[in-house]
Amino acid sequence: MANFFKGWPILKRLLTYGIRWKKLFLLAFFFLLIASISEILGPVLISYFLNNILTQHNLNKKIILIIFTTFIILQNISIILNYFQMLIFNRIAIKIVEKIRSEVMESALLQPLQNFHAQPIGKITSKITNDTEAIKELYDTVLNTIFRSLSLIFIMSITMLIMQWKMALVSMTLFPLVIIVICIYQYYSTPILRTIRSYLAKINNEFNEIINGMLIIQQFVQQSRFKKSIENTSKLNYNEKMKILKIDGLLLRPLLNLFSSIVLCELITLFSLSPVGAFTVGILYAFISYLNRLNEPLISITTQQSILQQSLVAGERIFKLIDSKKQQYGYDLKPLKTGNIQISNLNFSYQKKSPIILKNINLNIPSKSFTALIGHTGSGKSTLANLIMGYYPKYQGSIIIDQRPLKQLSYHALRNGIYMVQQEPTIFTGTILSNITLGKKISEKKVWTILKKTKLHSFFKSMSDGLNTTLLQSSHHLSSGQKQLISIARILILNPKILILDEATSNIDPETEQSIQNILLSIKKYSTLIIIAHRLSTIINADNIVVLQQGKIIEQGNHKKLIQKKGIYYDMYHS
């Protein structure tokens, strides 16, 4: 019972999603109620037939025909209404899952980037898919079954009390026993179901990792290692599911069947010991029939505990994501007018107790200047770029952009004013046009003009559907250089005040690199350029070259000045 009260806030919150469709719910509940009444009236008619016609040898064909016809009609009404209420519940369930998935996806898109670094993508995917499916079952299975079962139990209990209250009280001794079983089931099943959801998320993540890294796995012959990992997680998941099946097999149907058998024996004993005429054969038939019918909804309610617990565990995981802290931005909505950046006494670490990545960084980047960040792997170049992008708002010191503190800038001010081109450009599933415009209303004529600048014009023109050619996320028919040039084309549409390239030319051929360099020179006329590079040949013309080492600025100056200094940059350039 403690588990139920603990899960009540989650259940209550899940149920609030159904308020929007309350009229449909009421219609479905009405159908269920009428269907239940129709089903319960069947044994009453048969009991009347046994007591007043069969035992009295009053075989009036007309009355018999009316009774049987009414019985068939009632059963058909029950079947038809149960069918329609099931359709309504499923329709509501699909709509609710659609809304929850939208909220989960919206929440995921607003998460701080460190959240994606801290947990595997597969776990987030599992919450969006598997956990929302578990919640769907709450509406189309659990609510439907529980309400139908409670309706049947309530109507049968009233009918039995009206027919013979002593036998009814004996039958109702089943109820407290069922409540005890439900409480015991909740106590033992909840932690196991929570573990099962965790293993399922881990399995999804491992499959996601294998599919994304298939090339490396095959190249380094790692199939057996990953296969063993999947098998191990699947075995753990299997063991937990077997525990649930054992609990189901012990506490649910077999135990309830035993209770029903005991109550049935009590009814027969009561019938046998009672004076002649105290109970009729029709009453006994009705009670035996109701006991069988009562057994089924009680078993249904109890078996729904498993699905209910899964829904609550899934809801707990989903609401944890929905309620998690979102990326914080400021409220200054004014667009950036300049690309001036001033960084003072900047210190940063990803976690409170993790090593400091950037130490006392002081840097001035004038608007429309060309600044290069260089250094060995792990020196903090990309981290500094991510801080300028506003991805990590928790840092010590100050970052001033366009004479305004970075933390005060709104989401739109940052994203419309600062753009980053990654080393691995992202291609979305969609047309070439949608991949370049990214939802912005840009004419095809302007897009073709931009593609001419990026040397992609002739390549896309040769495709049968032109700009409407569909690209897949993998896009194997595009080279690394072409993907990078698509990223550059996006920049030419956005015209940001600050442009950051994070080793964007490291995986492309010299010809494409030269094309990008020429484009960057034109971009520099209206944007501040910050380039992170390993190829020092690409940043010789930079106004300022910043050399980072173990999170500190060791040297800075233009190429000529740093070469004359014969320090770390000199060694890197000549190595």
pLDDT at residue 549 in the model: 93
The correct CATH number of 341-427+478-574 out of 3.40.50.300, 3.30.1490.190, 1.10.150.120, 2.60.40.3500 is 3.40.50.300
Quote the CA–CA distance of 524 and 498 in Å, as a whole number. 9
Report residues of the chain scoring pLDDT below 70: 1-6, 55-58, 114-123, 126-127, 252, 276-279, 295, 473-476, 504-508
Report the alpha-carbon angle 454-418-436, nearest 5: 35
Measured in Å, how far apart are the chain's first and last C-alpha atoms? Answer: 70
pLDDT at residue 277 in the model: 62
pLDDT digits (tens, 9 = 90+) for 204-248: 778 877 877 787 787 777 888 888 988 999 999 999 989 888 887
pLDDT at residue 475 in the model: 57
pLDDT at residue 121 in the model: 63
Sequence-distant (≥ 6) Cβ neighbours of residue 225 within 8 angstroms = none
DSSP assignment letter at 128: I
Cβ 386 vs Cβ 373: under 8 Å: no
Residue 351 backbone dihedrals phi, psi, to 5 degrees:
-130, 160
pLDDT digits (tens, 9 = 90+) for 348-402: 998 777 889 999 999 999 999 999 999 988 899 989 999 999 888 889 999 999 9
How far, in whole angstroms, is CA 413 from its chain's centroid?
A: 29
Question: Where does residue 332 rank: exposed (0-12), middle (13-18), buried (19+ CB within 10 A)?
Answer: middle
Which tokens is 357 given?
Answer: 């990545």
pLDDT at residue 278 in the model: 63
495 SS3 class: coil
548 SS3 class: strand
Topology (CATH) of 1-164+303-326? ABC transporter transmembrane region fold (1.20.1560)
Sequence-distant (≥ 6) Cβ neighbours of residue 201 within 8 angstroms = 122, 123, 126, 127, 130
Q: How many other CB atoms sit within 10 Å of the CB of residue 26? A: 11
Residue 108 backbone dihedrals phi, psi, to 5 degrees:
-60, -40
pLDDT at residue 1 in the model: 46
Whole-prediction pTM value? 0.67
Residue 354 backbone dihedrals phi, psi, to 5 degrees:
-85, 160
Cβ 167 vs Cβ 283: under 8 Å: yes
Which tokens is 532 given?
Answer: 């992170």
